[in-house]
Amino acid sequence: MLLYLRLLKESFAFAMNALRNNKLRTMLSLLGVTIGIFSIIAVLAAVDSLDQKIQADLSTLDKNTIYLTSQSFGPTDVPRWKREQFPNVTFEEYQYLKNTLGNVEESCFQYFTVSQNITYESKTSSAVNMVAVTSEFVDVQRMEFSKGRFFNDAESYSGKQVVVLGFDIAQNLFDDVDPIGKTVRMYGQRFLVIGVTKKKGETMDIGGGDDTSAFFPATFLRKIYGDNNPQVLPVIVIKPEKGIDIDALKGDIAQKLRNFRGVKQGDIDNFFINILSGLTDMIDGVLSSLRMGGIIISFFSFLVGGFGIANIMFVSVKERTNLIGIQKSLGAKNRFILLQFLFEAIILCLFGGAIGLLIVWLLAMVLTNILDFEFILSFTNIVIGTGLSVIVGLISGIVPAISASKLDPVEAIRSGM
């Protein structure tokens, strides 16, 4: 044990000596390892941070929520030209399904539409996420309010010009003034503010629900655009009861809507039943692809780093040929020489890896403060970076170490004189 500790100490001393005596050569060689470690750990940290953010945002949503619409939220085998012929879901279809479906906790009708500006006196909130829904939306999303209320069934079905503002929108337009009872302008008309949502922070709620949204009756938008306008995408949102068979409910929805639309037997569904859990699976697949792509790209940086370390180790063997011969003539075994150079290669790679990890950590801190997005350098990624540094050191140092261990002591001393 003491022998290996002494070996590690001597290897560390040789590595530090190489850094001191050949600063430029060594730093250029370590640059490849540093860039390789930085690239792969930066990719892993970014993907892990994004994944954690998405999972945290979606954790507040019911992943079994169903979005029935003419568009697919993920990849589909239906060709684009055929999807473009699918009719939009209608308010009448929503009412039919609401009255006939079982095992449903709540459902609502919603329009996905383009953003609008909202004005109050001289102040304007630009690019506000407009959420046109029926009154049941408040129960589907379990909305909370800091002031006021959501619109009721009568206001919803009549298309009354009332609006519920997201927390940030209300703050931007009204500051400390109570917005309830005030009127704002949007779509060129006046809307009465009846509620303000409770602040939620940045989330990824589907179709709205965040602090920068405005909620108003879907019937108002139907009066403006109708059911077949490119400015809007009608959606039927269905929240199943807990513990039910989701596949069975999907089958029931499909059968009822096919019958309502008169779709012939053998023809494909002309609508899509999107489930939030399917969307999260698609996101996981995209993140996995990003992670793998980053690893593959970073692999080439590791190749450069490995060649650089191998180069400096061959030079080190050449410079210390005489010393190797003396060590072997004094009884040093081949294994001792082999491990000495292997440890030196590993230590050099660990230096490069440590610099790469430090850069990632500093960059994560800076981006977190600038972008208000938490970049995380996890312990797992630190272990991965350290482990990769060791592996690169082993691979790049093994051939020079073997060549050093097989030197004939007499020839080594003679060639070094």
Per-residue pLDDT reduced to its tens digit, 229-281 = 778 889 999 999 888 888 899 899 999 999 999 988 888 988 998 887 656 66
Which range is least confidently modeled, 34-43, 112-121, 193-202, 295-304? 295-304
Cα(227)–Cα(209) distance, integer angstroms: 23
> Above 70 in pLDDT, residue 329?
yes
To 10 degrees, what angle do helices 276-319 and 23-58 make? 170
Q: What are the tokens at 327?
A: 């060590």
Average pLDDT over residues 174-188: 91
pLDDT at 370: 80
The listed range with the strongest mean pLDDT (261-265, 345-349, 373-377) is: 261-265
> Above 70 in pLDDT, residue 201?
no
pLDDT at 11: 64
Average pLDDT over residues 33-55: 78
pLDDT at 252: 92
Q: Fill in the DSSP letter of residue 89.
A: P
Burial of 29 (0-12, 13-18, 19+ CB in 10 A): buried
Amino acid at 80: R
DSSP-based three-state secondary structure for 206: coil
pLDDT at 352: 81
> Are 176 and 169 spatial neighbours (Cβ–Cβ below 8 Å)?
no
Burial of 256 (0-12, 13-18, 19+ CB in 10 A): middle
Of residues 216 and 354, which shows the higher confidence score? 216
Q: Left, alpha or beta for 181 (phi > 0: left; psi -120 to 50: alpha)?
A: left
Q: Which residue is associated with the tokens 């600063």? A: 23
> Above 60 in pLDDT, residue 209?
no
- Give 191's pLDDT tier (boundaries 50, 70, 90): very high
What does pLDDT average to over the chain? 81
> Above 70 in pLDDT, residue 57?
no
Q: What are the tokens at 126?
A: 């630009």
pLDDT at 282: 65
> Above 70 in pLDDT, residue 203?
no
% pLDDT > 70, the chain: 83
Amino acid at 416: G
- Give 89's pLDDT tier (boundaries 50, 70, 90): very high
Strand partners, 183: 192
Q: Where are the domains of the chain?
A: 2-57+286-416, 105-236
> Above 90 in pLDDT, residue 155?
yes
Q: Left, alpha or beta for 383 (phi > 0: left; psi -120 to 50: alpha)?
A: alpha
Q: How many CB atoms lie within 10 A of CB 363?
A: 16
Q: What are the tokens at 127?
A: 């690019």
> Above 80 in pLDDT, residue 285?
no
pLDDT at 346: 79
Q: In what helix (H) or strand (E) does residue 216 lie, and over which residues does it extend?
A: strand 213-217
Q: Fill in the DSSP letter of residue 77.
A: S
Q: Which has the closest alpha carbon to 317: 219, 408, 401?
A: 401
pLDDT at 206: 52
Q: Which residue is associated with the tokens 């020839």? A: 411
Cα(126)–Cα(40) distance, integer angstroms: 39
Q: Which residues contact 19 (CB under 8 A, 6 or more apart)?
A: 26, 348, 351
Average pLDDT over residues 345-365: 83
Cα(82)–Cα(65) distance, integer angstroms: 26
> Above 60 in pLDDT, residue 39?
yes
Average pLDDT over residues 53-79: 76
DSSP-based three-state secondary structure for 352: helix
- Give 220's pLDDT tier (boundaries 50, 70, 90): very high
- Give 71's pLDDT tier (boundaries 50, 70, 90): confident
> Above 90 in pLDDT, residue 185?
yes
Q: What are the tokens at 357?
A: 């990890």
